[in-house]
Amino acid sequence: MFNANAWYDSGIVYIDTVGNKMAAKYLVIYNPHAANDVASKRVELVKHYLDAEELDYSIVFTQRPGHAIEIAEEAAESYDVLVAAGGDGTANEVINGIMRYKSSKGADARAPAMGMLCIGRGNDFAFGAGIPTTVAEGSAALRANVRKRIDIGCITGPVVEGKRYFGNGIGMGFDTIVGLEAAKLTWAQGFLGYFLGALKTIFFYFRAPMLQITTDAFTETRPAILISVMNGRRMGGAFHMAPESKNDDGKFDLCIAGEPKRLQMIGLVTKFLKGTQKDSSHILFTRSSKAIVESAEGMLVVHADGETICTAGHRIELETVPGALEVIVGG
């Protein structure tokens, strides 16, 4: 059984609001480093809203990258709901912890539902899943406990060890580099950081690799500056990569950008902001339950839910796991 006290290191990393050591219904897995450490200043606010909803909860704080995966996998046996308190990276880790637990117990095993309190930057997973993006509304949603089953994406191939899961989407090429550049701009939060990162990428790292892309419908080799494989709809807090995507249809929505010129790419960025890129001759949309991308020339730079998977890959394999995750959504 999960023992939250075992995660105690230095400082307070575990809070039991009911004053005992019994497993609570909700375990809040809190990333204090989300949003460039801004989340560390919002702990009391989060507790205030959870207490206002009279929830029976405990909080455990993550201490390093990957820690939320470990916590979620171990706690899945003892809690009804695991709540990711952070941004898309925290959500991704909690998803991976739940999926690892399910893999170890078998497909028919009971697994906890996932909730979320959005205190990160982009909160794109929550946006696509229908989870409220304010702490007050998110806490109220946990109380209401309205649930929905959604698909999860699974990554295999040489870029990962074993399997890696994602809830919102995979980005290859342009948007991954944008995310890396945005992360360097610690003074620019949210949309501004991603927009400035996009401009820098366009003018300094702009080159479309030659890729072989395999979907349910086709296999073809083509230059592609960007491939987004979406379970959700948005990336970077503002870029609507797949505005018509559904996370419960058993398929990804793929948005593939060919080889536009620099000025054309600036125009495409504005279309991504509105979700109107479908009318561009440089964009191909398709739906597929799987996707395999191989670099015929150049390297694959890949992120999953904003977390870097590789910067010099050659092959990635993706498939949907239909209805794999139960999430608490807004009413």
- The full DSSP string for 42-110 is -HHHHHHHHHHTT--EEEEE--STTHHHHHHHHHTTT-SEEEEEESHHHHHHHHHHHHHHHHHH-TTS-
255 CB-near residues (< 8 Å, 6+ apart) = 226, 227, 228, 230, 241, 242, 277, 283, 284, 285
Q: Which of 101, 128, 144 is the last residue of a domain?
A: 144
Q: What is the SS3 assignment for 176?
A: helix
pLDDT class of 21 with cuts at 50, 70, 90: very low
Whether 202 shows a pLDDT value over 80: the answer reads no
Q: Are 175 and 316 in the same domain?
A: yes
Q: What interhelical angle do 262-274 and 190-204 show, nearest 10?
A: 160
Is 152 inside a domain boundary? no
Is 162 inside a domain boundary? no
Helix (H) or strand (E) holding 177: helix 174-184
Is 329 inside a domain boundary? no
Q: Are 140 and 217 in the same domain?
A: no
- Position 200 scores a pLDDT of 78
Q: Cα separation of 7 and 28, whole Å?
A: 13
The structure's pTM equals: 0.89
Q: Are 24 and 60 in the same domain?
A: yes
Higher pLDDT, 2 or 48: 48
Q: How many domains does the chain have?
A: 2
Q: Are 211 and 132 in the same domain?
A: no
Q: Cα separation of 56 and 183, whole Å?
A: 35
Domain span at 302: 169-323
Give per-residue pLDDT as tens, 294-324.
Answer: 998 888 989 999 899 998 999 999 999 999 9
User: Residue 304 sits in a domain of what CATH number?
Assistant: 2.60.200.40
Q: Are 209 and 318 in the same domain?
A: yes
Give per-residue pLDDT as tens, 153-201.
Answer: 999 999 999 999 999 999 998 877 777 777 777 777 667 777 787 787 7
CA-based nearest residue to 197, from 236, 161, 165 = 236
Is 67 inside a domain boundary? yes
Q: Are 127 and 203 in the same domain?
A: no
Find where tokens 């039991």 sit: 16
> What are 30's strand-pairing partners?
61, 85
Higher pLDDT, 266 or 107: 266
Is 201 inside a domain boundary? yes
